[in-house]
Structure 1
């Protein structure tokens, strides 16, 4: 009997302990579920707080501000590039690689700024830019195309058709500030016009407003005439072409040797005053040359072209210029397509109404 009583009491204690352990297990399971939910919430908040394409793409205004591109254009560009470049950092995706490069070009951000934003090292940012920008330049360079005479005439604005129907191209030189480390390079890049070390580029623009020619970079001390004659631009001209330029382009005879004509504003050097015809021609040239400044303005909306290029990045400048020029043309074509679509839709709605 005593043994039986002891067994019963022992079983009661075991049952009590079992119930206690069950209650503790339920409480621990509830705490675990709460912690798991909180952990997931914190991960989501951390993901939203981190700077990445995933957090930017949902806001179209932010994406355009940081890159100049819409999400459709961004994905198209990524699809063209992704097969030819590799990810430099395993901690960030390919979309973020492209976002870093576009932010570098669009906003002119320093590498350390981008490193803080994407939570990577400054060296990683530098490696991404040095790997991706040359690859992008090679892939996008076909977007800077020298069009045929027929294409030029077909897309020529009315303001050109009145007085410059034979215009093939409008040219200008633009300078980008740079600071080479080599003393000889500094002497070669010194620009008396800008009073600084610069790299000079010849840019050609079609009457319709797209970039059709970009020369390699030259030292700032080179003349407009030299860069025009030695950059390969003249070889693209055909007989009876007209080239519109500023007064600094003293290349009339050189273009004439290729059967082309130079149209520049008249100036009063050696004259008391201009004739009425010369004044009118100069005014007409000034009106159409405004288009050049607008295109260069769109090109230089990539703020890296407005900054002083560091020594470490001077070797990439030609590729940077090409990528910015190609993206400018891409944005230009996309804008034309957008407005054409709106106009077509508006005309269709009007016809239905």
Structure 2
């Protein structure tokens, strides 16, 4: 037999008051528990420089607070993202998740940094920071967007003169005209449902759906360029031509690994290419070889080019970049890559 529940107003006034107080007690208890979790998480992250570096990727609490101060100086009001569907109805929303705000900006800042550094799921972040899942899904894209907009100016493409003035003392003179050292890296995607998206992102080399990003560093080891993400089957030449070729000036040199077929593009701009020589077949067709000069050149370039690989490896210490992403997250990947690159450059350079 179906139970029929009476509406609250049908109860005696004394009972109504008792029920209301009970609900208020439960609500207060839940709020206190959420506050306790937030406070414990904040204390855990800010315990010391080691914990700050572990959970946010920044070197110290001072750097963490300085970046937050820069943001709060630039931003007076935050309009929270509510996803593509709701954004059509509500372009700006002053509260995450569309509810009354229960976190302050600093907690949201920490939540976003922990998400980027540790790659934690939204469920775990909601539990750590004592907020709803819908709030987390609103806070993260909003703060990623604001961090990107404010920090992107700190990724600087230095002039030729600046590059020469900052060359490490140990840098070989014969490669002193190097303007940028380039390499591509890939980030795995979950298999898209759309067939055309599958074809555009499938990497024959990785045997996986992926997006591809071009990274450039200065001879000193600072990140000076981050490209937008491209489908996993895009060629290095294609990305280079679309993203960075216009920045190369006559007399510059670009250092790359084998496979970057860009010598013709650089020749058009009166620039040089430093790339390890390809092996050749031996006479008689048995095996491949390099002559002595080519071996020396290969070793010299490899010893300098390895630093762009080190830079990419350090960037991927931010675990959000090693997670397999949904295709709808990839547009935000460029913003995250720029944020991570800024954090990387706050560390001492790879080469002094």
Partner SS state of residue 197, structure 2? helix
Counterpart position of 1:72: 62
Q: Deviations over 1:122-179 (max 9, x none)?
A: 1111100111101111111111111011111111123423331111110000111122
Measured after TM superposition, the shift of residue 77 of structure 1 is: 1.1
State the 4+ residue runs in structure 1 displaced beyond 3 angstroms. Answer: 46-52, 269-272
Q: Deviations over 1:268-326 (max 9, x none)?
A: 14555322111110110111111111111221111111111124422311111111112
Check whether the contact 2:213–2:226 (CA below 8 A) recurs between aligned residues: yes
Counterpart position of 1:203: 215
CA distance in structure 2 between the aligned counterparts of 1:258 and 1:242, rounded to whole angstroms: 10
Aligned pairs for 1:144-293 (under 5 A) are 144-179=155-190, 180-231=192-243, 233-270=244-281, 272-293=288-309
For the pair shown, which has the larger CA radius of gyration, 1 or 2? 1
Q: Give structure 1 stretches of 5+ with no counterpart.
A: 1-42, 341-353
Structure 1 residues 190 and 321, CA gap change in structure 2 (3 angstroms) = same
Judging by fraction of residues, say which structure has more helix: 1
Check whether the contact 1:188–1:219 (CA below 8 A) recurs between aligned residues: yes
Partner SS state of residue 239, structure 1? coil
Q: Deviations over 1:43-93 (max 9, x none)?
A: 89x748844324532333212210122111111111122242527452222
Counterpart position of 1:39: none
Scaled by the length of structure 1, the TM-score of the pair is 0.77
RMSD: 2.4
Q: Give structure 2 stretches of 5+ with no counterpart.
A: 1-31, 79-93, 283-287
Partner SS state of residue 168, structure 1? strand
Check whether the contact 2:254–2:272 (CA below 8 A) recurs between aligned residues: yes
Q: Deviations over 1:101-127 (max 9, x none)?
A: 111111111111101111111111110
CA distance in structure 2 between the aligned counterparts of 1:183 and 1:145, rounded to whole angstroms: 38
Counterpart position of 1:294: 310
Check whether the contact 2:212–2:229 (CA below 8 A) recurs between aligned residues: yes
Partner SS state of residue 134, structure 2? helix
Partner SS state of residue 309, structure 1? coil
Moved more, 119-128 or 158-167: 158-167
Structure 1 residues 97 and 305, CA gap change in structure 2 (3 angstroms) = same
Check whether the contact 1:159–1:288 (CA below 8 A) recurs between aligned residues: no
Aligned length: 293
Scaled by the length of structure 2, the TM-score of the pair is 0.77
Aligned pairs for 1:1-353 (under 5 A) are 47=36, 50-69=39-58, 70-82=60-72, 83-84=74-75, 86=78, 88-89=95-96, 90-179=101-190, 180-231=192-243, 233-270=244-281, 272-332=288-348
